[in-house]
Chain A
Amino acid sequence: MEYINSVILESPKSLSELYKAVKRNPDSVLFAGGTYIMSRPGYFPKKNLHGYISLSEIPELHRVLHSDKYLELGSMVTIQGLLNASASSLSKPIYKAIGSIAPSVLRNLITIGGALCSMNCRTNLCCILCAINASAEVRFITRNNKTNLNNIKTKARWIPVAKLYDSDGRYLYSDNAVLTRVRIPSDPTISFIYNNVGSLTTRSESAVTLAFQYNMNQNSIINPSFCLSFLNNGIFNLQDFEGFLRSVKFPLSNSLLQKIAGELLKLLRTECTNITDLQRERAIRLMIDALETANREYYNL
C-alpha cells in the first residue's frame, strides 16, 4: 500500500543538523514552503528516491532581526511574514509591490528562501529584492571529511540577490549550499517603481516585471538600481544601463526617452538572448513608463 511506504524525510531541528543531513544525502530536496514542489504535476504518488529535508523546524531560519540600516530575515520566513515585519522599515511602494506578488493564501506558504532558490519557478520577489539591493547569506558546506559527520565546516558568504543567478536566470548555488538569511536595506524614503505585464501563473512565457529604485537629486537620478525579470527566462540587473541612467538629466523629453529606450533595446539584444520579442518590447515599454513616472515626480518636487 502506498500509504505505508513513506519517502525518506528528515526534519533537522538546528542548522548543524541540517548541514549533517545535506552532507549525508546531498541529492535530497530541501523542502521549504513546498508551493513549487507540491504544485508539480505528478508530485504524488511518484516517489522522490532521495527524499526530502524539511526546513520548517529550524528556528534559526524563522528569525527576524530589525536594525536601523537593514531588515534581516531567515530564509523560512514567508512572504506574509516579510510583509508583517517590514511595514515600518520599507517604503510604501516596495511594501505594496511585495504584497502583490501572490494572493494571501499563497503568501502564507511561499518562503523567501524557496522563492529565491527554486530552480524553474521564479516569483517576482527575486526581481524586487534585486532592485532594492538585498543580499543573501549562502552557507557552503565544505566537501572534506566526507565520513566524519560530526565535524562539518561551513563557509558563509553574503551575495547580492542579483548575483545568485546566471544570465539565463538559473540559481547558481544549489549544490552543497544552503541559503540561510536575507538582508534587506531599509530606507522608507527611497522612490520605487514596480510594474508587471503578463501572469506568473497562466502566461509565464511572456511575463515581464520591472522593479526600479532610485533617489532624485535636483535634476538627476542618484543610485539607480533596476531589475528586469522574465520569470523563467532570466533575471537581469543591467549595471551598464544603471550607469547610463545616472548621466540622464531631468526633465526627460520625448527624444531623450526614445534614446534611453534604444539604449535598453541594444543591451537586451546583446545580454538577454533567452527572451522573446514580445518580452523585449514589453520590457522597453515598462522602462519608458517607469521613467515617465519619475519625470512626473521631478515636476512635483
Chain B
Amino acid sequence: MKLTCIIDEKKYDLNVSSDKPLSRILNEVIPTFSINNACKGASCGNCMIILDDDYTLACLIPAFRLKSDKIHKIQTYETFSKTVLAHDIERAYAEVGSKPCYQCYASKTLLISSLILRAEKAVEVESYISSRKGKAKNNLLDRSFTSNELIISGCECMELTHIEKIIKLVCEYRSKRNGIHK
C-alpha cells in the first residue's frame, strides 16, 4: 500500500506492506531510529514516538492505521531531542544524578516528557479548581499514577523517586520560564 506521512518534519511517500509495524518502517526510513531506540520488538517499550501529538509505541501501529485522508505527523526522539523540553529533561538528569541507560534513553526521555506535560495539565486544572475554592494547591502526579505509566518501559534502570524528582525539576524550570515550550 502507498503511504504518505511526515516523519521528523520530512514528507515521505512510502510503498509498504499494509500490516507492517510502524517501528519497522521507521527503522528503514530513519537510520538513527534503531540506534536511539534499541527496540527488541514485541512491546519492549523502546520504540516510543509521538504520533499526531499522542505518545505511542511504534510497534503497535500497523501501516494501514496511518492510511487516511489526513497526513500523519510522526516525531521520533531525533527531533524531540532538539526541543527545549528535551534540554530541560537532560538538565534535570544531570542535577538529580540519574539518567536512563543507553538502551532506553530515547523512549524513557519521551515517556518522562509525556508525564511532565500531564503534570503541568494536572497542576493547571488543580490550580483552577483551587482558585475557585480559595485554596492553593500544587500537587504533581501521584506515585501510583507515575509507577503505572512507567510499566510501559520494561527497563528498570532508574528509580521511581528519581523520576519524580526529574519531573518536579523540569516543571519548575518551565514554570520559571513562564511559558510552555514544546
Query: A residues touching B (Cβ–Cβ < 8 Å)?
Result: 2-7, 9, 11, 31, 34-35, 38-41, 43-45, 47-48, 52, 54, 56, 100, 102-106, 108-109, 199, 201-202
Query: What is the total of A-B residue contacts with beta carbons within 8 Å?
Result: 87
Let me know if A41 and B41 touch, CB within 8 A.
Answer: yes
Q: Please measure, in the bound complex, the distance between the C-alpha atom of A109 and the C-alpha atom of B42, giving whole angstroms.
A: 15
Contacts of B20 in A (CB 8 A): 2-3, 44-45
Q: Please measure, in the bound complex, the distance between the C-alpha atom of A9 and the C-alpha atom of B1, giving whole angstroms.
A: 10
Chain B facing A: main interface SS: mixed
Let me know if A38 and B55 touch, CB within 8 A.
Answer: no
Let me know if A44 and B42 touch, CB within 8 A.
Answer: no
Let me know if B57 and A54 touch, CB within 8 A.
Answer: no
Contacts of B19 in A (CB 8 A): 6-7, 9, 43-44, 47-48, 52
Let me know if A103 and B65 touch, CB within 8 A.
Answer: no
Query: B residues touching A (Cβ–Cβ < 8 Å)?
Result: 1, 15-21, 24, 41-43, 48, 54-57, 59-62, 64-65, 111, 114, 118, 144, 148-152, 154
Distance from B100 Cβ to chain A, minimum over Cβ atoms (Å): 16
Let me know if A44 and B24 touch, CB within 8 A.
Answer: yes
Let me know if A103 and B18 touch, CB within 8 A.
Answer: no
Let me know if B152 and A106 touch, CB within 8 A.
Answer: yes
Let me know if A11 and B64 touch, CB within 8 A.
Answer: yes
Let me know if B62 and A38 touch, CB within 8 A.
Answer: yes
Contacts of B54 in A (CB 8 A): 108
Q: A3-B17, A39-B42 are in contact. Are A105 and B56 (CB under 8 A)?
A: yes
Q: A6-B1, A6-B17, A35-B60 are in contact. Are A100 and B151 (CB under 8 A)?
A: no
Let me know if B41 and A54 touch, CB within 8 A.
Answer: no
Distance from B59 Cβ to chain A, minimum over Cβ atoms (Å): 6
From B15, B59, B151, B152, contact of A4 by CB (8 A): B15
Contacts of A35 in B (CB 8 A): 60
Residue of A nearest to B18 (CB): A6
Let me know if B21 and A43 touch, CB within 8 A.
Answer: yes
Q: A3-B16, A43-B21, A103-B152 are in contact. Are A9 and B59 (CB under 8 A)?
A: no
Let me know if B21 and A38 touch, CB within 8 A.
Answer: yes
Let me know if A109 and B18 touch, CB within 8 A.
Answer: no
Distance from B167 Cβ to chain A, minimum over Cβ atoms (Å): 15
Determine which residue in B18, B21, B118 has the highest number of CB atoms from chain A within 10 A of its CB, and name it.
Answer: B18
Contacts of B65 in A (CB 8 A): 34, 54, 56
Q: A34-B62, A38-B62, A43-B21 are in contact. Are A103 and B42 (CB under 8 A)?
A: no
Q: Please measure, in the bound complex, the distance between the C-alpha atom of A106 and the C-alpha atom of B1, giving whole angstroms.
A: 26
Contacts of A6 in B (CB 8 A): 1, 17-19
Let me know if A105 and B48 touch, CB within 8 A.
Answer: yes
Q: Please measure, in the bound complex, the distance between the C-alpha atom of A9 and the C-alpha atom of B114, giving whole angstroms.
A: 33
Let me know if B60 and A100 touch, CB within 8 A.
Answer: no
Q: A9-B18, A44-B21 are in contact. Are A39 and B1 (CB under 8 A)?
A: no
Let me know if B59 and A38 touch, CB within 8 A.
Answer: yes
Distance from B4 Cβ to chain A, minimum over Cβ atoms (Å): 15
Let me know if B150 and A103 touch, CB within 8 A.
Answer: yes
Let me know if B149 and A104 touch, CB within 8 A.
Answer: yes
Determine which residue in B24, B42, B150, B154 has the highest number of CB atoms from chain A within 10 A of its CB, and name it.
Answer: B42
Contacts of A2 in B (CB 8 A): 17, 20
From B15, B21, B60, contact of A3 by CB (8 A): B15
Let me know if A9 and B64 touch, CB within 8 A.
Answer: yes
Residue of A nearest to B153 (CB): A103
Contacts of A52 in B (CB 8 A): 19
Let me know if A5 and B17 touch, CB within 8 A.
Answer: yes
Determine which residue in A5, A48, A104 has the highest number of CB atoms from chain B within 10 A of its CB, and name it.
Answer: A104
Residue of B nearest to A96 (CB): B144
Q: List 23 contacting pairs A-B, 8 Å CB cutoff, sorted by A.
A: A2-B17, A2-B20, A3-B15, A3-B17, A4-B15, A6-B1, A7-B19, A9-B18, A38-B60, A39-B42, A39-B43, A40-B42, A41-B41, A41-B42, A44-B21, A44-B24, A45-B17, A54-B65, A56-B65, A102-B148, A105-B56, A105-B149, A109-B56
Question: With A4-B17, A9-B18 given, can you name 19 additional A-B contacts, CB distance below 8 Å?
Answer: A4-B15, A6-B1, A7-B18, A38-B43, A38-B62, A39-B59, A39-B60, A43-B19, A44-B20, A44-B21, A44-B24, A45-B20, A100-B144, A105-B48, A105-B55, A105-B111, A105-B114, A201-B151, A201-B154
Q: Please measure, in the bound complex, the distance between the C-alpha atom of A41 and the C-alpha atom of B148, giving whole angstroms.
A: 24
Contacts of B111 in A (CB 8 A): 105
Distance from B5 Cβ to chain A, minimum over Cβ atoms (Å): 15
